[in-house]
Amino acid sequence: MSKKNRKEKPKVISLFAGAGGMDLGFIKAGFEIIWANDFDADSVKTYSKNIGDHIILGDITKPSIQKSIPKIKPDVVIGGFPCQGFSIANLGRSEKDERNFLYKQMIKVIKKTQPKYFVAENVKGILSLGKGKVIELIVKDFRKIGYNVNYKLINAANYGIPQMRERVFIIGNRIKKDNLFPLPTHRDHHPINGKKKKQPDLFEKDKKADLKNWVSTESVIFDLKDVPISYDPIKKGNKTIYNHMADTNVHDEFWGRKFPVNQFHICDYLKKWRKKSGISVKKIDQIFGYRHTAGHWFRKDNNSGSIPNPSDWKRLKKIIKFDDKYDKQVTTLVKKKIKFEQSLRIQNWDRPSDTITATSPEIHPNLQRRMSVRECATIQTFPEDFIFEGSTFRSMIKQIGNAVPVNLAELIAKKIIKEL
């Protein structure tokens, strides 16, 4: 940044801002957010409480919202355009999903406001959608409006975030600069078979970099382990802990299948019988009243196939009339003890956590409850005094899971501010 303008903070417009994870990172790096927008009321309440009242509630596709964008030319436009259509977790994803084209609203704002830079964030699934054609289309569309564009898949754990979170960042500029992504600051030092992992070849400029070990879940939320769950703020010494609420509906036992079942074999088996019956997946979804769930029974893309529960299995059998081959394995249930080491729902304790998602939090490593709102927020590197607003517990979790980790956004913002 030039000496002339170094006292004036560079300006940012934020689209699809959510609770403000990316915005907060840019603020920490020295930017000023002059306008933000999101269509979720609870997210806007959270943002307003913690960051500022410059956020507008509403649908960015509506002319009334677009007209409220300031005429001041921003230096950067940022946004994590909605990812439901792109996510691998959304098994009904399609390149025709209308949510996949909300990035065009971001292009529209960028074309109108002409920022020097833009930063967009999305899920890893965007890279494989349409066999790579979707990301190519998005990059092409950004380039059409005059931007040099690059994208990179970034794992937050490699940047000091206590979380295994892979997201795609797309950066573009129109000032003829290289788009520089931050270099990794951390790596996995855990031994494999008693030997240290070989340091990955991640360093374009500094292959001798001595990277720190990944940040563990334990190191950031250990102090909350003995704090009682409460919807009200809790005093601990000279600190106030906010949003330390959690789902305690976790049991030592669960009903599981008595016999081992090969998920892929079941998918192939059901697919064969469905084709033989001539009944479409869509029709079966309609019969069961599911939106997509029944469709998962007949495919195994992205390891995504699922097995019907016993009651659905019996009902499905009457519809597509398959034989008795797998009846015993699928429908015989017994009570089982929850084994933390087996459950994908359990957070890693001595390593970065699994991805914090917008749905139900995972079970705490050593407590009979799920991760609290505050613990999830801490793993996403939100400050201790950042207070989430929401009509429900689920709403707060959704806000956190959809956010960009604050400290990762800050690292990206610091790269950009040096180039302005």
What the block records as the tokens of 160 is 């000091």
Q: Which of 36, 78, 83, 400 is catalytic?
A: 83
| Structural domain contains residue 231 | no
Whether the pLDDT of residue 352 is over 60: the answer is yes
Classify residue 199 as exposed, middle or buried by CB count within 10 Å of its CB (0-12, 13-18, 19+). Answer: middle
What CA–CA distance (Å, rounded) separates 227 from 223? 8
Indicate the pLDDT class of residue 93, thresholds 50, 70 and 90. Answer: very low
What's the mean pLDDT when you consider all of the chain?
Answer: 86
What the block records as the tokens of 235 is 């005093």
Please work out, in degrees rounded to the nearest 5, the angle formed at the alpha carbon of residue 13 by the alpha carbons of 10 and 17: 130
Which CATH number is 332's domain given?
1.10.260
8 Å CB contact between 211 and 186: yes
8 Å CB contact between 181 and 152: yes
Any idea what DSSP says for residue 195? B
What CA–CA distance (Å, rounded) separates 231 from 234? 9
8 Å CB contact between 114 and 53: no
CB within 8 Å of 370: residues ≥ 6 apart = 246, 247, 248, 250, 360, 361, 362, 363, 364
262 and 156 part of one domain = no
pLDDT score at 346: 56
pLDDT score at 284: 87
What CA–CA distance (Å, rounded) separates 269 from 275? 10
Give tens-digit pLDDT for 219-255. Answer: 999 999 899 999 999 999 999 999 999 988 776 677 7
16 and 150 part of one domain = yes
| Structural domain contains residue 362 | no
| Structural domain contains residue 172 | yes
What CA–CA distance (Å, rounded) separates 398 from 396? 5
62 and 172 part of one domain = yes
172 and 51 part of one domain = yes
Indicate the pLDDT class of residue 359, thresholds 50, 70 and 90. Answer: confident
Residue 376 is a catalytic residue? no
Which CATH number is 51's domain given?
3.40.50.150
181 and 313 part of one domain = no
Whether the pLDDT of residue 344 is over 50: the answer is no
Q: In which residue are the tokens 């792109």 written?
A: 86
Please work out, in degrees rounded to the nearest 5, the angle formed at the alpha carbon of residue 148 by the alpha carbons of 142 and 151: 75
Chain centroid to Cα 165, Å, comes to: 7
| Structural domain contains residue 263 | yes
CB within 8 Å of 24: residues ≥ 6 apart = 50, 51, 382, 383, 386, 406, 409
CB within 8 Å of 387: residues ≥ 6 apart = 46, 49, 50, 242, 243
Does an H or E element contain 135, and which?
A: helix 133-144
pLDDT score at 367: 83
Secondary structure class of 207 (helix, strand, coil): coil
Counting every residue written for the chain, the total comes to 420
139 and 284 part of one domain = no
Q: Of 311, 337, 363, which marks where a domain is finished?
A: 337
If one counts the domains in the chain, the total is 2
Of all residues in the chain, what percent carry a pLDDT higher than 90? 62
| Structural domain contains residue 75 | yes
Complete DSSP assignment for 210-227? -PEEPPPHHHHHGGGTTS
8 Å CB contact between 169 and 154: yes
12 and 145 part of one domain = yes
Does an H or E element contain 15, and which?
A: strand 11-15
Name the residue among 124, 89, 83 with its Cα closest to residue 301: 89
Whether the pLDDT of residue 304 is over 50: the answer is no
The dihedrals phi and psi of 23, each to the nearest 5 degrees, come to -60, -45
Q: Of 310, 337, 364, which marks where a domain is finished?
A: 337
Q: In which residue are the tokens 């407590």 written?
A: 367
CB within 8 Å of 182: residues ≥ 6 apart = 159, 411, 412, 414, 415
8 Å CB contact between 115 and 162: no
Secondary structure class of 191 (helix, strand, coil): coil
36 and 178 part of one domain = yes
Indicate the pLDDT class of residue 263, thresholds 50, 70 and 90. Answer: confident
Average pLDDT over residues 168-196: 84
| Structural domain contains residue 309 | yes
Whether the pLDDT of residue 303 is over 60: the answer is no
47 and 128 part of one domain = yes
Name residue 213's beta-bridge partners. Answer: 187
Lowest-pLDDT choice from 256-270, 286-300, 372-386:
286-300
184 and 100 part of one domain = yes
| Structural domain contains residue 169 | yes
Whether the pLDDT of residue 278 is over 50: the answer is yes
89 and 174 part of one domain = yes
State the pTM of this model. Answer: 0.76
Which is higher by pLDDT, 314 or 190? 314
What CA–CA distance (Å, rounded) separates 235 from 238? 7
Range of the domain at 167: 3-189+404-417
Q: Of 306, 337, 368, which marks where a domain is finished?
A: 337
25 and 147 part of one domain = yes
Any idea what DSSP says for residue 416? H
Whether the pLDDT of residue 85 is over 60: the answer is no
CA distances to 151, 263, 274, 283, 319 from 289, rounded to whole Å, are 39, 23, 17, 10, 14
| Structural domain contains residue 357 | no
